[in-house]
Amino acid sequence: MSALDLPLIVEVDELAGLLGSEGLLLVDLCQAPTYKQYHIPGAVHIEYGQIIAARPPVHGLVPECADLEQLFGAIGISNETHVVAYDDEGGGKAARLLWTLEIMGHQRMSMLNGGLYAWANDGHQLDAGVVEAIPATFVGHYSARPIAETDYILQHLQDDDVVLIDARSRDEYIGRQVMASRGGHIPGAKHWDWQEIMDPLNNQRFKGRGELEQALAERGITPSKQVITYCQTNHRSSLTYIALKSLGYTQVKSYPGSWSDWGNRDDTPVE
């Protein structure tokens, strides 16, 4: 299998045999001190804050296209590069990078299942120091398809063919933990904590396909529906987005800003 044939979710052993392949770029989204001490050989590093924007109190927005083009080019992503992203938290940051790449029209991308934990605990080589990126030219082709904005959600709250997934904790969902001017959730949203996607006994890899599909079926979430994922800032819900895509869901969007937007407005209903 060549680098350009990698699936959306790539396994550790699969990636290990492809290190150094032409056209393959590993992007590390761990904390900088972690990266400098331990990273997959050849991986370049970016901070999570470089792929998000904010207009307080709203966070987790999509940066300007020109800023993303500059960032991606600077770390060596061209329009032909196959990006494999990973982090050390189960995939939320890596998934947000993939979602952002999709917005910019890039399709050649994968997330490492289990990220740095799975790589290290399976005994694969780790390097220290900093990998100097080889700059490339990245030209964005913006697509709003992966995005669900506030107005879109408001227009579809009564639509039976549209379902929302709230990826936050149970306390946030029911309004016990309030992280905006209002607590609660978007009316009708199904709760599916992002941590329920990961298996802590298997180095934070995704749970098995059957287990994930059962969790979705129990919530009435099927591939025939338009699915919208959100959390507090579309960090956790980016993982939900990528999980759904890996299961064959084609009608998936994520809500930039998420509850930091919805919960801080005065024109949005709350349950």
Active site residues: 231
> Is 235 strand, coil or helix?
coil
Decide if 204 contacts 198 (C-beta within 8 A). Answer: yes
User: How far apart are alpha carbons 265 and 125 in whole angstroms?
Assistant: 48
> Is 205 strand, coil or helix?
strand
Angle between helices 236-246 and 92-103 (to 10 degrees): 70
Decide if 178 contacts 248 (C-beta within 8 A). Answer: no
Q: What are phi and psi of 57, to 5 degrees?
A: -85, 10
H helix runs in the chain, sequence order: 12-16, 32-37, 65-74, 92-103, 115-121, 150-155, 170-174, 209-218, 236-246, 258-262
Decide if 186 contacts 230 (C-beta within 8 A). Answer: yes
- Supply the DSSP symbol for 102: H
